[in-house]
């Protein structure tokens, strides 16, 4: 199980670093709730806005 963990942690870290460096980073961390019209933590719209 230890070997599995080493692989998962190193592969996961490599993926995160690669994804970060190859993305158009806007800098500031945001939540979907920060966007206009969001009504839930996942950014779903309000029932009244449909």
Partner 1 sequence: MSTATAAVPAARNRFVADRLFLSLAVMATAILLALVLLDGQPASAGLILGGFALGIAFFKFEFSYTASWRRFLTKGEAGGLIGGLIAIAIAAVAVVPVAALFPNYGGAIAPLGPSLIIGAFTFGIGMQLAGGCGSGTLYTAGAGSGRMLVALAFFVVGSVFGSLSLPAFLALGGVDPILASDYLGPWGGLVATLASLALAAFVIALVAKKRGANFKPSRAYVAGGVIIGLLLIAVFAAGGHPWSVTFGYTVWGAKIARTFGVDFSNAAFWKWPGPQHALTDSVLTDTSSLTDFGMLLGAMAAAAEAKPFASGAWPPAKSLLAAVVGGLVMGWGARLGFGCNIGAFVGGVASGSLHGWVWFGCALAGCFIGIRLRPLFGLSRE
Q: Interface with partner 1 includes 7 (CB under 8 A)?
A: no
Residues 6+ apart with CB under 8 A from 37: 45, 46, 49
**Residues 19, 24: Cα–Cα separation, whole Å:** 10
Least separation, in Å, of the C-beta of 11 and partner 1? 11
Contact string 28-47 vs partner 1 (x = CB under 8 A): xxxxxxxxxxxxxxxxxxxx
And the tokens for 22? 């190859």
- Residues lying near partner 1 in the complex (CB under 8 A) are found at 1-2, 4-6, 8-10, 13, 16-17, 19-20, 23-48, 50
């Amino acid at each position: 199980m230890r070997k599995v963990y080493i692989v998962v942690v190193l592969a996961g870290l490599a993926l995160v670093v690669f994804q970060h460096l190859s993305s158009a980073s806007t800098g500031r961390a945001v939540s979907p709730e920060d966007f206009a019209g969001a009504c839930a933590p996942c950014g779903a719209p309000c029932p009244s806005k449909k």
